[in-house]
């Protein structure tokens, strides 16, 4: 019996050591940039007032992640992030969103706007050493939706 307890303790010690080896701290920088746009839309099939043409002043927050910095200590220049986000936002700003090609087969909901921005920026930042982590789309001061990677 004592012999079996000894084997159990050895297994427990081995498990603790392997868990320590597996435990690795991953550090990163999270970069956030916010921009706004105004647009009109309606939600086809929605059982309420949003099925009528109406507008919003949307706020979009984009979060990028970087596992390192350059020699100056910068993960990515905010100017670059603002420019790439602005180029995309200009395609939405003061537009009737239902008329845009991307929304031809889907409602221009905040959720779908988030997916569009996430996917387009993921492509735009492909060579910049950062990844889009999440996109938050605010439809009003009190409501937002976040589209993110796992």
The DSSP secondary structure of 111-141, one letter per residue, reads HHHHHHHHHHHHHHTTTTT-EEEEEEEESSS
Give the C-alpha distances (Å, rounded to integers) separating 10 from 16, 21, 26, 69, 137.
10, 17, 30, 43, 53
Give the C-alpha distances (Å, rounded to integers) separating 132 from 24, 62, 80, 85, 136.
23, 7, 14, 11, 11
| Catalytic residue set | 50, 94, 139
CA distance linking residue 34 with residue 55, whole number of Å: 19
Element (H, E) at 89: helix 78-89
């Amino acid at each position: 019996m004592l012999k079996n307890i000894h084997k159990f303790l050895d297994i427990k010690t081995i498990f603790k050591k392997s868990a320590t080896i597996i435990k690795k701290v991953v550090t990163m920088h999270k970069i956030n940039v916010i921009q706004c746009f105004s647009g009109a839309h309606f939600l086809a099939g929605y059982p309420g007032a949003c099925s009528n043409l109406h507008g919003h002043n949307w706020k979009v927050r984009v979060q990028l992640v970087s596992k390192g910095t350059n020699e100056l200590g910068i993960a990515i220049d905010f100017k670059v992030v603002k420019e790439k986000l602005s180029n995309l936002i200009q395609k939405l700003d003061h537009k009737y969103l239902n008329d845009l090609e991307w929304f031809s087969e889907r409602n221009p909901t905040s959720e779908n706007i988030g997916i569009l921005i996430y996917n387009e920026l993921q492509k735009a930042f492909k060579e910049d050493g950062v990844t889009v982590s999440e996109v938050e789309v605010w439809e009003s001061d009190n409501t937002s939706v976040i589209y993110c990677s796992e």
